[in-house]
Structure 1
Amino acid sequence: MSDPLLRLTGVRKSFGDHVVLRDISLDVHRGQCVVLIGASGSGKSTLLRCINVLETVDDGVITLDGTELTDPRLDVDAARARIGVVFQSYNLFPHLSVLDNVTLAPVLVHKRSKAEAKERAMAMLERVGLADKAHARPDDCSGGQQQRVAIARALVNEPELMLLDEVTSALDPELVGEVLDLLQQLKAEGMTMVLNTHEIGFARDVADTVAYLHDGLIHEVGPPAEVIDNPQQERTRRFLARVRH
Structure 2
Amino acid sequence: MNVPIGSGEPDSSELAPDLSQVLTLRGVRKSFGSNLVLRSVDLDVAPGECVVLIGASGSGKSTLLRCANLLEVVDDGTIHFAGQEITHPAVDADAVRARMGMVFQSYNLFPHLSVLGNVTLALRKVHRVPASEAEQRGLAMLERVGLADKATARPDDLSGGQQQRVAIARAMVSNPTVLLLDEVTSALDPELVGEVLDLLTELKAEGVTMVLNTHEMGFAREVADEVCFLHDGVVHERGSAAEVLGAPQQERTQAFLSRLRL
Q: Same fold (TM over 0.5)?
A: yes
Distance 2:21 2:120 in 1: 31
Distance 2:151 2:21 in 1: 36
Alignment of structure 1 residues 114-193 onto 2, 5 Å: 114-193=131-210
Shift of the alpha carbon at 1:67? Answer: 1.1
Distance 1:66 1:60 in 2: 16
Whichever residue aligns with residue 175 of structure 1, its letter is: L
Unaligned runs of 5+ in 2: 1-17
Aligned to 2:126: 109
Cα RMSD between the aligned structures?
A: 1.1
Unaligned runs of 5+ in 1: none
Distance 1:96 1:58 in 2: 37
Shift of the alpha carbon at 1:77? Answer: 1.0
Whichever residue aligns with residue 126 of structure 2, its letter is: V
SS of residue in 1 equivalent to 2:71: coil
Shift of the alpha carbon at 1:148? Answer: 0.1
After superposition, what is the alpha-carbon deviation per residue over 1:210-243, rounded to whole angstroms, capped at 9, x for unaligned? Answer: 0000111111001001000000001000100112
After superposition, what is the alpha-carbon deviation per residue over 1:156-175, rounded to whole angstroms, capped at 9, x for unaligned? Answer: 11100000000000000000
Distance 1:239 1:136 in 2: 41
Taking structure 2 as the reference length, the TM-score comes to 0.92
Between stretches 161-170 and 64-73, larger displacement belongs to 64-73
Aligned to 1:46: 63
Taking structure 1 as the reference length, the TM-score comes to 0.98
Contact 2:25 2:78 in 1 (8 A): yes
Identical aligned residues as a percent:
70
Count of equivalent residues: 245
Shift of the alpha carbon at 1:69? Answer: 1.3
Shift of the alpha carbon at 1:2? Answer: 8.1
Aligned to 1:79: 96
After superposition, what is the alpha-carbon deviation per residue over 1:47-102, rounded to whole angstroms, capped at 9, x for unaligned? Answer: 00000000111111100111111111001111001100000001111111101111
Distance 2:122 2:19 in 1: 32
Q: Does 1:98 align with 2:115?
A: yes
Distance 1:110 1:177 in 2: 32
Whichever residue aligns with residue 258 of structure 2, its letter is: A
